[in-house]
């Protein structure tokens, strides 16, 4: 378990280092996750220890939101001052991401020809 946890942390650290060295406009953990994904593609299948450790972290993911909640409570005065603008930004970006997701889904479905299939899996006339 310790080796698997170290693998996760090292991939995050490598992503953070690449972002800072290359001044990329992406979060380091996202780049680290992409690096881990590439590593998993090269070294398939996923080691059982890494899978078990990742599942354990995901089961307790809600605990990782506690520091973010504390940060929000510490910034209540700012939330009161800029709350309407923050709400508007969250609402607009959520709608944009839903629209982009729907368009990408429709495009991939058209590209794969999935819209030619009936719900039971048979071709339409």
pLDDT at 120: 62
pLDDT at 91: 97
* Cα dihedral 28, 31, 37, 39 sign: negative
pTM of the model: 0.52
The CA distance from 94 to 16, in Å, is: 26
Taken in order 79, 82, 88, 89, is the CA torsion positive or negative? Answer: negative
- d(CA 58, CA 39) in angstroms, rounded, equals 20
Kindly give the parts of the chain with pLDDT less than 70: 115-125
Q: What is the pLDDT of residue 107?
A: 93
89-105 confidence digits (pLDDT tens): 999 999 999 999 999 99
The pLDDT value given to residue 51: 86
């Amino acid at each position: 378990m310790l080796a698997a946890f170290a693998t996760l942390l090292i991939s995050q650290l490598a992503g953070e280092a690449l972002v800072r060295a290359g001044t990329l406009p992406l979060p380091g953990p996202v780049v680290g996750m992409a690096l881990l994904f590439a590593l998993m593609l090269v070294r398939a299948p996923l080691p059982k220890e890494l899978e078990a450790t990742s599942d354990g972290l995901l089961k307790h993911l809600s605990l990782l939101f506690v520091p973010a909640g504390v940060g929000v409570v510490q910034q209540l005065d700012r939330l009161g001052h800029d709350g309407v603008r923050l709400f508007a930004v969250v609402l607009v970006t959520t709608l944009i991401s839903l629209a982009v997701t729907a368009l990408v889904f429709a495009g991939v479905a058209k590209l794969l020809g999935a819209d030619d299939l009936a719900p039971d899996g048979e071709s339409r006339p």
